Structure 1
Amino acid sequence: MEINSLFDIFLEALIDSAKMIPLLLISYVGIELVEYKYANKIREAVQKAGVFGPAVGAVTGSFPQCGISVVASALYTQRLTTIGTLLAVYLSTSDEAIPVILSQPDKAEIIVPLVITKIIIAIIGGYAVDFAFRKSNKETLAHIKAYAEGSDNKQHNHEIILEEKACCGHSASPSSVEFNPKEIILHPIIHTAKVFVFILSVSFAINFAIAQMGEEAFENLFLGSSVFQPFLVALFGLIPNCAASVAITMLYLKGAITYGSVIAGLCASGGLGLLVLFKEEKDKKDVLSILLLLFGISVSAGYVIQYIIY
């Protein structure tokens, strides 16, 4: 490929990506303000939900804040939430998907069905898992009740959940007691720049691939007509980084992957919450079980949507 053509492809990707910056920044500032006001209430709702955890986790997880999966993981490692609640949060959270879609107003109509689909999957998956683990959940539910009543073991240091960090060193559970300009203003700017780089990289790669091989061959590259696509996209979604959800969303918006596949990928995309789970959970077999359940539910949901509903 000629240098000029390569530059033209990069320039096109740069212009298209730059157009998204203002709406991305507005979205992240809005998310930050809501997080500032309600983050602790959201955390407390998940923490105190008990047997209603999967429903509460599914709804709260659907809000596009980067810290909810981190907080849910921290709560689970201290047994202040059930395994079904944790999975419900993972399944319903979309990481960067919603802000990326909002930055392209002509695509905004897909947000509501996407969010509703993921909430339904999260509720069904969360309650199914809690039912399967009902015996081991009894101790967790008793612990949640004791903590809520103030009769928990005083040696348990649950305040550590407030120390967990989400992306860009951002506090996972910002307190609404004091206004913090760094959290409210600086973090959205940093996060917008970070996501812009991801979007630019993915857009350039997609445009370059299409220019090199043509649209039909590009679609075949992602196994568009193959039964394996939801499986592979869900596997990619397990990468604990917001780049995964950005790439999955961009591929869907470009028409490279199906609706069933984007659901599978975004359901599996637990973001940095997965890293917190790896770091804080001492029982690594438990971590593996959670990952397998997350992957299995995500893939199953993707296939149901792709081959039965559509």
Structure 2
Amino acid sequence: MELFLDVLGESLVDTAKMLPFLFLAYLLIEYIETRHGERIEALLAGGGRWGAIPGAALGCVPQCGFSAIASNFYSSRVITLGTLMAVYLATSDEAIPLLVSMPAYWDKLAVLMVIKVVYAIVVGFALDFVLCGVLPKSLRGGYTGHADEVDCHEEHSDEEGKPAPIWKAALRHTLEIFVFIFAFSLVFGLIVEGVGEDVFADLLGSMGFFQPVVAALVGLIPNCAASVLLTQLYVEGALRFSSLVAGLCTGAGVGLAVLWRTNPSWKQNLFITGLTWGAGAFLGVAMQVVVAVFA
């Protein structure tokens, strides 16, 4: 009981420190989404074969709505495969506001975003310009799906159906993430204290170069909470930075789930899912190799 109370108190204090930063981050996100959402969608749809650039830029906005929109656009033959992959790989979802809430990790956040955006553009261009003649049309796209507007969060409206103030939506998202982070911190703390920090660290460390591969699989989970889980594991020291990058590259929120629902070609959906995982895992392993060589 004493151990539980100690971990409970420590988790509550550490999580509470993030609240002001989380709220401000979500307030900015809600403002951008509410005031400029339609313009952003139009920019994404009008990029053509150069859509990887706006796709990567929009994907790094910390919310999974754009990955869902991109999936719908791809299913409706509005955007290319390269643009879709650029959005997926650049998406970090809830990881950004979480890292923003921790000033000590702002430098890592900047490096993370630069790596993901540049990598997303490179992969997008490779698919649309280099590999477009190699990949068969059945995998690149060409089927017509049903395009509905989908968002990973609830509709931002009050009980009377009127648009809710952005501060209310921001507060709701802040509290939702707060509860998840607190619960994760509590469970993680109990596990670490129960089995010992050395044992837990050795388990993850024993994965070696396979750690980014596992992290990339976790990122594929079609839920906004996956990015929070990966970020917390990194903050707790259980994941290397390369593994965090790998997991967040594949963490497209509900984008993949929307793709499987709206796009009728299971071959395309399976190929894109595997491509997303492979791209994220490859980048994570490549970063580890570079670090090992130049360390």
Q: TM (normalized to structure 2)?
A: 0.89
Aligned length: 284
Tell me the CA shift for residue 140 of structure 1. 7.1
2:119 to 118, 121, 130: 121
| CA offset digits 1:100-136 (Å, max 9, x no partner) | 0011122222111100000111111112222323473
Question: Which ranges of structure 2 fall in alignment gaps of 5 or more residues?
Answer: none
**CA distance 1:5–1:277, shift in 2 (3 Å):** same
Alignment of 1:76-87 (within 5 A): 76-87=74-85
**Which residue in the other structure is 1:151 paired with?**
none
Partners of 2:120 and 2:168 in 1: CA distance? 32
Give the superposition deviation at 1:225: 5.6
Question: What is the correspondence of 1:65-104 to structure 2 with a 5 Å cutoff?
Answer: 65-104=63-102
Aligned partners of 1:75 and 1:81 also within 8 Å: yes
Counterpart contact for 2:145–2:264, Cα < 8 Å: no
> Matched residues in 2 for 1:257 and 1:282: separation?
36
Structure 1 counterpart of 2:132: 133
CA contact (8 A) 2:64 2:151 kept: no
Pair 1:56-2:38 in alignment = no
**Residue of structure 1 equivalent to 2:13:** 15
**Is contact 2:87–2:120 with CA below 8 Å preserved after alignment?**
yes
Q: Amino acid of the residue matched to residue 81 of structure 2? A: I
Alignment of 1:189 with 2:182, yes or no, is no
Counterpart CA distance in 1 for 2:145 and 2:104 is 47
Identity of aligned residues (%): 37
Deviation string 1:35-84 (CA, Å, 9 cap, x unpaired) is: 22222221111101001011221111112133111111111110100111
Distance in 2 (CA, whole Å) between partners of 1:140 and 1:204 is: 44
Q: Are the aligned partners of 2:242 and 2:284 in contact in 1 as well (CA < 8 Å)?
A: yes
CA distance in 1, matches of 2:278, 2:261: 22
Q: Deviations over 1:78-105 (max 9, x none)?
A: 0100111101100001000110001112
| Residue 168, structure 1, aligned to residue 167, structure 2 | no
User: In 1, Cα distance between the equivalents of 2:207 and 2:263?
Assistant: 39
Residue pairs, 1:275-294, within 5 angstroms: 275-294=257-276
Measure how far apart 1:157 and its partner are: 10
Structure 1 counterpart of 2:274, one-letter code? L
* Secondary structure, counterpart of 1:95 in structure 2: coil
Deviates more, 1:221-230 or 1:197-206: 221-230
Range with bigger deviation, 9-18 or 221-230: 221-230
Select which of 238, 243, 251 maps to 1:256. 238
Corresponding residue for residue 208 of structure 2: 226
The letter for the 1-side match of 2:137 is S
1:270 aligned to which of 252, 255, 270: 252
On the 8 A contact 1:167/1:272 being kept in 2, the answer is no
Residue of structure 2 in register with 1:237 after alignment: 219
CA change 1:99–1:14 in 2 (3 A) is: same
- The secondary structure found in structure 1 opposite 2:98 is helix
Deviations 1:129-159 (A, max 9, x none): 223234739x979x9xxxxxxxxxxxx998x
1:307 aligned partner? 289
